[in-house]
Amino acid sequence: MEERMIQTLEQAGHRVTEPRSQLIKAVVAQKERPFTGEALYEELKEAGLGRATVFRTLKLLQDLGLLSRLHLPEGCQHYIVSPPEHQDGKHHDRIICRVCGRVAYLDECPMSEVIADIAKASGYKVETHHLDFLGVCSDCLASSDEN
């Protein structure tokens, strides 16, 4: 995962610097948990990273399709690591845990069959869509059942 990001960075003609490596390591460690730029900066500033570098690198990784932003009810400043299949810009529907923030991805896009109908009904040419499910993941369900 880490190597994949480093590779993508190189292949796109960007330098693999020490700060970038550290940032990549940190975001990969978040796994499927969303994190904010500010939180990441707090974590990385002791290693000497500046705020600007953190945000610049987050943006770069987004542009390369390695990270994406999440739009949660509490705000729009969360990032998550994109799964490998997303690098090619492929479509991805997500399911997000309201309790712990964990993000899972749907293997199959459930929309593909209805898109033609929607296009016809609305008169729009449908180009893409964003589908986020919000719910509670199995772990959080399990621990809340214990109450």
Partner DNA sequence: TTAGATGCAAACCATTTGCATTGGA
Partner DNA sequence: TCCAATGCAAATGGTTTGCATCTAA
Could you list the residues that contact DNA (CB under 7 A)? 10, 14-20, 36-38, 45, 48-53, 55-59, 75-77
> Phi/psi of residue 42, each to 5°?
-55, -40
What angle is formed at CA 27 by the lines to CA 79 and CA 110, rounded to 5 degrees? 50
Q: Which residue lies nearer to DNA by CB, 74 or 107?
A: 74
| Measured distance between the N- and C-terminal CA atoms of the chain, rounded to whole angstroms | 37
Q: Which residue lies nearer to DNA by CB, 72 or 140?
A: 72
Cα–Cα distance, 58 to 45 (Å, whole number) = 15
Count of chain residues binding a second copy (CB under 8 A): 34
3-state secondary structure of 103: strand
Interface with a second copy, residue 133, by CB under 8 A: yes
Q: Which residue lies nearer to a second copy by CB, 23 or 103?
A: 103
Which residues in 43-82 contact a second copy (CB under 8 A)?
71, 76
Cα–Cα distance, 134 to 53 (Å, whole number) = 32
Q: With CA atoms as reference, report the closest residue to 134 among 81, 92, 73.
A: 73
Cα–Cα distance, 141 to 88 (Å, whole number) = 33
Identify what 10 binds: DNA, a second copy, none; CB under 5 to 8 Å per kind.
DNA
Interface with a second copy, residue 124, by CB under 8 A: yes
Q: Computed over its alpha carbons, how large is the radius of gyration of the chain?
A: 18
Which residues in 92-121 contact a second copy (CB under 8 A)?
95, 97-98, 104, 106-107, 110-111, 114-115, 117-119, 121
The residues that touch a second copy, with contacts defined as CB under 8 A, are 71, 76, 95, 97-98, 104, 106-107, 110-111, 114-115, 117-119, 121-138, 141
